[in-house]
């Protein structure tokens, strides 16, 4: 059974690689425009997106209009199959009372079947191991390194999958008789309009920087942004993946999210649970509230001013701020501290009353890190963080 799972996963990934490398050079037989509409907007316009089993790229509009384009291209497909694929796309759009609504659903989405199969198959093939014995040390990453990590996430994910199932990658050579289908969804959004999105089993890649107000509710999806930020933005992400080169403001909620990777974060509130979060640089005035997640914090801007964490059962891996004065305080109980080869456990008292556990620096310094935590682990490092009590 394991062999069958491996072969199935390899076939899915090989098809994806072959298509990705050849679509730009293949002359397609048919190009069908499913949807192409343009809507005027003003500062009071709201764009409502309802996306299911949809992969889309989002661009900044060059004018004040919203434009949405949905096309399907085919190579070497029989007419009956083409007709079935075209019917599988359920797309609607309208504008009423300054509200633009766009709905896109697909009854036939190979990409997202693959996306779920990858998680299911790898989970079945390899049970979770005792991470306290197997985790490798973490090295501090520069902000540029995190940017590259976000940029090449899909490539690295495929490499990791091949490594997990212990199979060498294969690239299928293109043949003139091979079948190929390309689905393109492009969404163009102007500045200053409110975007509300309900997203399920989908992938959105934002190719430009946006300062719009975003209200996102995403399930089992992949979201990738460049720079985003608005004081009124609110993200609710359950499962799936989230990445952004920079978030400048807003509220972000992550639950059971497989990976959250953010280059620089400023003026933001992050709520999380059961999630892995990696932050390249802490900017000004951030707050994190968490339950039972893993955090890796690599760098701090030289005037980050304030980072507050309120956590329970959380693993915090924090690289110390470099070339600046700062004050750090941990407050709580029942938490392990690892720092410079020293292990300290602050146990709970009879009343489970929180108390000050560790202090670094002078409280008068302008840059402050305050960690209020219970039942957690905090590891401090300069260039590298090791795991286990041998620290």
Do residue 377 and residue 283 come from a single domain?
A: yes
Do residue 369 and residue 304 come from a single domain?
A: yes
Alpha carbons within 13 A on the beta-carbon side of 68: 22
Distance CA 333, CA 194 (A): 43
Distance CA 157, CA 113 (A): 16
Q: Which of 165, 184, 202 is the last residue of a domain?
A: 165
Distance CA 146, CA 142 (A): 7
pLDDT of 265: 98
Do residue 6 and residue 132 come from a single domain?
A: yes
Residue 370 lies in a domain: yes
Residue 339 lies in a domain: yes
pLDDT tens digits, 301-325 = 999 999 999 999 999 999 999 999 9
**Bridge partners, residue 359, by sequence:** 329
Distance CA 256, CA 373 (A): 20
Residue 75 lies in a domain: no
Do 214 and 231 contact (CB within 8 A), yes or no? no
pLDDT of 119: 59
pLDDT of 32: 95
Do residue 276 and residue 350 come from a single domain?
A: yes
pLDDT of 340: 83
Do 223 and 198 contact (CB within 8 A), yes or no? no
Do residue 151 and residue 223 come from a single domain?
A: no
Place of tokens 């500045």: 191
Domain that holds residue 245: 218-385
Q: Total structural domains in the chain?
A: 2
Do residue 338 and residue 254 come from a single domain?
A: yes
Distance CA 109, CA 56 (A): 13
Do residue 252 and residue 150 come from a single domain?
A: no
Do residue 159 and residue 228 come from a single domain?
A: no
pLDDT of 297: 98
Residue 117 makes CB contacts below 8 A (sequence gap 6+) with 8, 9, 12
pLDDT of 391: 37
Residue 178 lies in a domain: no
Do residue 244 and residue 371 come from a single domain?
A: yes
Residue 7 lies in a domain: yes
Residue 286 lies in a domain: yes
Structure tokens at 291: 């339950």
Do residue 269 and residue 379 come from a single domain?
A: yes
For 178, which DSSP code? -
Residue 234 lies in a domain: yes
Q: 110-125 and 2-22 helices cross at what angle (nearest 10)?
A: 140
Q: Which of 120, 150, 165 is the last residue of a domain?
A: 165
Do residue 6 and residue 154 come from a single domain?
A: yes
pLDDT of 323: 94
pLDDT of 209: 97
Closest CA to 369 of 319, 312, 314, 315: 319
Residue 313 lies in a domain: yes
Do residue 232 and residue 343 come from a single domain?
A: yes
Phi and psi torsions of 115, nearest 5°: -55, -45
Mean pLDDT by 10 residues, the chain (391 residues): 49 45 70 96 97 95 96 92 91 96 80 52 50 74 95 72 61 77 94 96 95 97 96 97 97 97 98 98 98 98 97 97 96 91 77 87 96 95 76 37
């Amino acid at each position: 059974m394991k062999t069958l799972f491996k072969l199935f996963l390899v076939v899915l990934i090989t098809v994806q690689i072959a298509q990705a490398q050849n679509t730009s050079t293949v002359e397609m037989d048919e190009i069908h425009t499913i949807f192409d509409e343009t809507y005027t907007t003003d500062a009071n316009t709201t764009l409502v997106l309802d996306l299911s089993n949809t992969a889309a790229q989002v661009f900044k509009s060059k004018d004040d209009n919203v434009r949405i384009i949905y096309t399907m291209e085919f190579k070497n497909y029989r007419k009956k199959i083409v007709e079935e694929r075209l019917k599988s796309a359920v797309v609607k759009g309208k504008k009423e009372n300054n509200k633009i609504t766009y709905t896109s659903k697909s009854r036939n989405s190979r990409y997202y079947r693959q996306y779920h199969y990858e998680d299911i198959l790898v989970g079945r093939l390899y049970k979770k191991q005792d991470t306290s014995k197997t985790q490798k040390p973490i090295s501090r990453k520069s902000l540029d390194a995190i940017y590259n990590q976000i940029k090449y996430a899909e490539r690295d994910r495929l490499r990791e999958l091949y490594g997990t199932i212990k199979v060498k990658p294969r690239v299928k050579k293109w043949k003139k008789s091979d079948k190929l289908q390309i689905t393109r969804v492009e969404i163009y959004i102007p500045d200053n309009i409110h975007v509300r999105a309900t997203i399920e089993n989908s992938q959105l890649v934002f190719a430009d920087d946006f300062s719009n107000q975003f209200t996102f509710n995403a399930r089992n999806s992949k979201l990738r942004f460049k720079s985003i930020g608005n004081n009124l933005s609110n993200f609710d992400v359950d499962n799936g993946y989230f990445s952004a080169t920079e978030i400048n403001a807003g509220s972000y909620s992550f639950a059971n999210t497989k990976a959250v990777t953010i280059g620089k974060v400023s003026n933001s509130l992050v709520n999380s649970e059961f999630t892995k979060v990696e932050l390249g640089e802490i900017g000004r005035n951030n707050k994190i509230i968490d339950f039972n997640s893993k955090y890796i914090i690599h760098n701090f801007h030289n005037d980050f001013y304030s980072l507050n964490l309120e956590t329970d059962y959380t693993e915090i891996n924090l690289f110390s701020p470099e070339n600046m004065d700062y004050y750090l305080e941990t407050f709580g109980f029942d938490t392990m501290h690892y720092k410079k080869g020293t292990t300290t456990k602050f146990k709970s008292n009879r009343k489970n009353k929180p108390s000050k556990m560790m202090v670094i620096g002078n409280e008068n310094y302008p840059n402050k890190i305050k960690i209020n935590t219970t039942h957690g682990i905090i590891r401090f490092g300069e260039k590298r963080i090791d795991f286990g009590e041998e620290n």
